[in-house]
Amino acid sequence: MPRIRTLAATAAAATAAALLGACASLPSTGPMSFFISSTGSGKGADLGGLAGADALCQRLATAAGAGGKTWRAYLSVPGTFPSANAPGVNGVNARDRIGKGPWYNAKGVLIARDVEHLHNGNMISKDTALTEKGEVVKGRGDTPNEHDILTGSRADGTAFAPQTDTTCKSWTSSTDGSAIVGHHDRIGPLPDNWAKSWNFSHQSAGCSQEALVRTGGSGRLYCFAAN
How far apart CA 58 and CA 215 sit, in angstroms, is 26
- For residue 95, the 8-state DSSP code is G
Tell me, what's the pLDDT at 86?
Answer: 65
Q: What is the pTM of this model?
A: 0.86
Average pLDDT, the chain: 88
Query: Residue 151: CB partners within 8 Å, gap ≥ 6?
Result: 74, 75, 76, 94, 179, 180, 181, 182, 199, 200, 222
pLDDT band at 4 (very low <50, low <70, confident <90, very high): very low
pLDDT tens for each residue of 100-152: 999 999 999 999 999 999 999 999 999 999 999 999 999 999 999 999 999 99
Q: Which residues pair with 174 in a beta bridge?
A: none
Question: Could you tell me the domains of the chain?
Answer: 26-225 (3.10.100.10)
pLDDT tens for each residue of 121-130: 999 999 999 9
Q: Which residues pair with 220 in a beta bridge?
A: 149
Count of H helices and E strands in the chain?
A: 5, 8
Q: Which of these, 33, 41, 34, 38, lies nearest to 179 by C-alpha position?
A: 41
